[in-house]
Amino acid sequence: MANTKEIKNRIRSIKNTKKITKAMELVAASKMKKAVSKTLDSREYARFSREVLGRVADSLKNATHPYLATRGHKKILVIIVTSNKGLCGAYNSQVFREMIEFLRTKSDREYSFITVGKKGETALERLGLTVIASFPDLSDSPTLIDALPIADVAISEYEKGTFDRVKIIYTNYISALTQKPITHQLLPVSKKDVARAVDELKEDAKHNLQYILEPDSESLVINLIEELSRAHIYQILLESMASEQSARMVAMKNASDAAGEMIDDLTLVFNKARQASITQEISEISAGMASVS
C-alpha cells in the first residue's frame, strides 16, 4: 500500500484537475446555451425557406440546371464538420464512424473532402485521403459569413463538373445528451425531397399563401437553391457547434464526477493507511514497553 504522503499528493492533484474540468464544464454550458439558442432560431428561418422553395417547386419537373440534374455517382465531394479542439466526448468519433460507414458502403467511388475543424483535417491526412480545402479556424459562434467560403468552394467545384455530388457529414443537435451524426446530400437538390416538402406544406393550412414569381419560377428556383445551399451549410455549422458544446459539457461533467469519486476512494484509502500506521506505532510502543518491564 502507498504511504500517506503519496496518497495525499495524488488527492491534491486530482482536486486540481477537478477544478479545471469543472471550469471547462461551466464554460461549455455557457457556450452551449448561446449555440442552442442560435440553432433553434435559425431552424425557423430554414423552415420558412423550405416553404418558399416548396411553393415554387412545380417548375422543377422540367428543369435541366446542374443543381437539379443527376450526373452519376462516381466522383463525390464530402464536407465533414468536426471540432477544432478535443475534450468533447464522442463528438468527433461519431462523425468519423458515420464517414467510415459511408465510405465502406460506397467503396467503388472517388472521394475528395472539404474539412471544417482541425480534428477532421488531421484524421483525413492520417488516412491519406484527398482534402481540397480546409477551414480549421471556425469560431465558437459561427455566422453566415463563416459559412460562405465553405459553400462557395463546394458550389464552384460542383458547377465546374469536377464532382457529381456534394455530400455533407455533420452532427445534428437533438438535446444536451443526444447528438446524431448525419450524411446529407447538398447537391444536386433531390426532387423527391422537395416534393415531400411540398406535400408536408400542403397539409398545413397555415401556409395557404400565394406567391407572385418574378421574373419566372425556374430562374427563381435556381437562385433560391444556390442561396439556400449557403444557408443550409450555415444551419449545419450551428447544429454542429451546439452538438460540440453539449458533448463537451457532458464530458467535462462526467470527468468532474469521476474525479470526485476518485477523491472519495483515495480519501478512504488514506484514512485506512493512516489508521494502519497509527495502529502499527501503538503496537511498537506497547511491544517496547513490554520488553523493558
Tens-place pLDDT, residues 23-76 = 999 999 999 999 999 888 888 777 777 666 655 555 555 556 667 667 777 899
Superfamily name with CATH number, domain 30-248 = ATP synthase, F1 complex, gamma subunit (3.40.1380.10)
Higher pLDDT, 158 or 222: 158
Looking at the domain 4-28+250-277, which fold is it? Helix Hairpins (1.10.287)
Mean pLDDT of 135-152: 88
110 pLDDT more than 80: yes
Mean pLDDT of 171-178: 91
Spatial CB neighbours of 6, under 8 Å, sequence gap ≥ 6: none
Q: Where in the chain is the domain with CATH 1.10.287?
A: 4-28+250-277
114 pLDDT more than 90: yes
Percent of the chain with pLDDT over 90: 41
Number of H helices, E strands in the chain: 6, 5
The structure's pTM equals 0.82
213 pLDDT more than 90: no
91 pLDDT more than 80: yes
247 pLDDT more than 80: yes
223 pLDDT more than 70: yes
Higher pLDDT, 52 or 229: 229
169 pLDDT more than 90: yes
Mean pLDDT of 218-231: 76
User: What separation in angstroms does the CA of 108 have from each of 73, 102, 103, 111, 280?
Assistant: 9, 12, 9, 10, 72
Contacts within 8 Å (CB) and 24+ apart, 151-159: 151/229, 151/230, 151/233, 152/230, 153/114, 154/77, 154/79, 154/114, 154/186, 154/187, 154/229, 154/233, 155/187, 155/226, 155/229, 155/230, 157/77, 157/132, 158/66, 158/77, 158/187, 159/66
User: Residue 205 — pLDDT band, cuts 50, 70, 90?
Assistant: very low
User: Residue 81 — pLDDT band, cuts 50, 70, 90?
Assistant: very high
97 pLDDT more than 90: yes
pLDDT given for residue 55 in this prediction: 59
Residue that is written with C-alpha cell 488514506 in the block: 270
Cα diameter, the chain: 115
1 pLDDT more than 80: no
pLDDT given for residue 215 in this prediction: 66
Angle in degrees, 0-180, between the axes of helices 118-127 and 91-105, rounded to the nearest 10: 40
- The residues facing 133 across adjacent strands are 114
Cell numbers describing residue 285: 510502543
Mean pLDDT of 253-273: 91
188 pLDDT more than 90: no
Length of the chain: 293
pLDDT given for residue 225 in this prediction: 76
* Among 91, 127, 93, CA closest to 111: 127
pLDDT given for residue 53 in this prediction: 62
Mean pLDDT of 156-173: 91
User: Residue 248 — pLDDT band, cuts 50, 70, 90?
Assistant: very high
What is the chain's mean pLDDT, rounded?
A: 83
pLDDT given for residue 186 in this prediction: 84
Beta strand pairing call for 110-116 and 131-135:
parallel
* Among 15, 5, 1, 9, CA closest to 264: 15
Q: Is the peptide bond before 149 cis (omega within 30 degrees of 0)?
A: no
